[in-house]
Amino acid sequence: ETGVTQTPRHLVMGMTNKKSLKCEQHLGHNAMYWYKQSAKKPLELMFVYSLEERVENNSVPSRFSPECPNSSHLFLHLHTLQPEDSALYLCASSQRQGLGYTFGSGTRLTVV
Amino acid sequence: GDSVTQMEGPVTLSEEAFLTINCTYTATGYPSLFWYVQYPGEGLQLLLKATKADDKGSNKGFEATYRKETTSFHLEKGSVQVSDSAVYFCALLTQGGSEKLVFGKGTKLTVNP
């Protein structure tokens, strides 16, 4: 257990479904991140939240919608995904933006 | 933009062999450098880091030295174990403005008994 908890660990969804990924940390960190890990590609930073405000959105398609209701929780809402969106989605947090990342174990997403 | 290039895998070694995984970077200024490790089915864990030129990060028998002149941060271990089998990621922390971690593609290491 790293201090960053992601649920669910595995998710299979159809292209017309709506689902949400959840990330939770109780480390007192102020920044949270979503990364996408696809086979044979570098980790892709998707979103950055600092003090609950979104500070970065790396040209991520609108079918991915993040939400950060407080400094301990981060969600990634998914709708009308494509098969190429299948990947491991990793959440991370840090004391402040850029320092000491702690990663969760990820959610393995399969879009069918 | 800032980027990290690390050697393509997979790397397969026998137990007690010497390990080197090459990593070079392109960045403005002098970023902090990191090695992360990902064991099967898990997220990334920080293995070691170095924050300035000539710093040596070390942990669990792994070492890496921040070489400014060659813009490199190669990972080494003198004697690998089966339990070291994992994917290793080199990363840098960008500077100025919106700081963020930029990762290499990862190198899968398999250590056989």
Confidence (pLDDT) at A65 = 94
Higher confidence at residue B82 or residue A50? Answer: B82
**What mean pLDDT is predicted for residues B56-68?**
97
Whether the CB of B75 is below 8 Å from some CB of chain A: the reply is: no
* pLDDT band, very low/low/confident/very high, at B98 (cuts 50, 70, 90): low
Confidence (pLDDT) at A106 = 94
Give Cα A107 to chain centroid, integer Å. 8
Confidence (pLDDT) at B29 = 83
CA A85/CA A107 separation, integer angstroms: 12
Interchain contact, B4 vs A42, CB within 8 Å: yes
* pLDDT band, very low/low/confident/very high, at B95 (cuts 50, 70, 90): confident
Confidence (pLDDT) at A51 = 78
Confidence (pLDDT) at A18 = 94
Confidence (pLDDT) at A56 = 73
Confidence (pLDDT) at A52 = 76
Interchain contact, A48 vs B93, CB within 8 Å: no
Could you say which of A45, A90, A100 has the minimum Cβ distance to residue B100?
A45
Confidence (pLDDT) at A55 = 74
Instruction: Determine contact, residues B39/B30, Cβ cutoff 8 Å.
Output: no
CA B64/CA B72 separation, integer angstroms: 9
Whether the CB of A98 is below 8 Å from some CB of chain B: the reply is: yes
- B83: phi then psi, degrees, rounded to nearest 5: -70, -10
Output the CA–CA distances (angstroms, integers) from residue B8 to A39, B4, B76, B105, in the order listed. 13, 12, 16, 8
Interchain contact, A103 vs B100, CB within 8 Å: no
Tens-place pLDDT, residues B68-79 = 999 999 999 999
Give Cα A79 to chain centroid, integer Å. 14
Please identify every stretch of chain A with a pLDDT value under 70, giving residue numbers as ranges.
1-2, 96-99
Tens-place pLDDT, residues B25-35 = 999 888 999 99
CA A94/CA A100 separation, integer angstroms: 5
Confidence check: pLDDT of B42 > 60? yes
Closest alpha carbon to A55 in A73, A79, A38, A30: A30
Interface of A with B in 11-30 (CB under 8 A): none
